[in-house]
Chains A and B, each alone.
Chain A
Amino acid sequence: DQQVKQNSPSLSVQEGRISILNCDYTNSMFDYFLWYKKYPAEGPTFLISISSIKDKNEDGRFTVFLNKSAKHLSLHIVPSQPGDSAVYFCAATQGGSEKLVFGKGMKLTVNP
């Protein structure tokens, strides 16, 4: 049973437009969520996170929204740039645990 779901395997957007990456989770005990970005042949790198006590966190072009009632979070990238093309993983954890549960990832392609 996959507790963190990224149901869309890929997304393609034009440079300058908004990219919206979605993530759903089933475990209501999750209280901290993270987004990681991964380039081919590299390990994931941390992008942005959000605690369950918030519903929005913003860092430059990246904003994460959390809807606890829907068990849904999304990552918005605006404006999208070709360098944002990568695989994005949504991850969740609970109670300060160091164990992260990852989604399958979503490949974002930003076209020039």
Chain B
Amino acid sequence: GAVVSQHPSWVICKSGTSVKIECRSLDFQATTMFWYRQFPKQSLMLMATSNEGSKATYEQGVEKDKFLINHASLTLSTLTVTSAHPEDSSFYICSARDLGQNGELFFGEGSRLTVL
């Protein structure tokens, strides 16, 4: 099946620094990718929809200046957590829809961010 890969899978950073997480569709093109965030024992919460070649669409309550999303190509979307703080520590997961496989949504492995 289609594969979506995230990098890094684990990152620890100091408070105030910025962290970039990559999401790649390895064997299909994705004009739209999705970024989710999961707190411990909570559901996956959609943060934003990443659109290739245009601005991302953010969900209500998500700070677009805090979570910068860039979808520069049909196989790559990046999420940058700017000026990270401990409360940004979370599990971030991306997904992409493979139209060649009946539109099935495939998820990346997730990236765990810990901000000290």
Contact = CB atoms under 8 A, between A and B. Distances in A.
Interface string B1-21: 000101001000000000000
B34 A46 contact: no
Residue from B93, B107, B109 whose CB has the most chain A CB atoms within 10 Å: B107
Interface string A70-112: 0000000000000000000100000000111111110000000
A59 interface: no
A101 B44 CA distance: 8
Contacts of B105: 46, 98, 100
A98 B93 contact: no
Contacts of B43: 2, 4, 89, 102-105
A29 interface: no
Interface of B is mostly: strand
A98 B107 contact: no
Contacts of A57: none
A44 B93 contact: yes
Given A98-B32, A98-B34, A41 B42 contact: no
21 contacts: A2-B43, A9-B41, A36-B107, A41-B9, A41-B110, A42-B109, A42-B110, A45-B107, A46-B104, A98-B32, A98-B34, A98-B97, A100-B44, A100-B105, A102-B36, A102-B43, A102-B44, A102-B45, A104-B42, A104-B43, A105-B41
What are the 5 tightest A-B residue pairs by CB atom distance, in nearest-first order? A43-B107, A102-B43, A102-B44, A104-B43, A44-B107
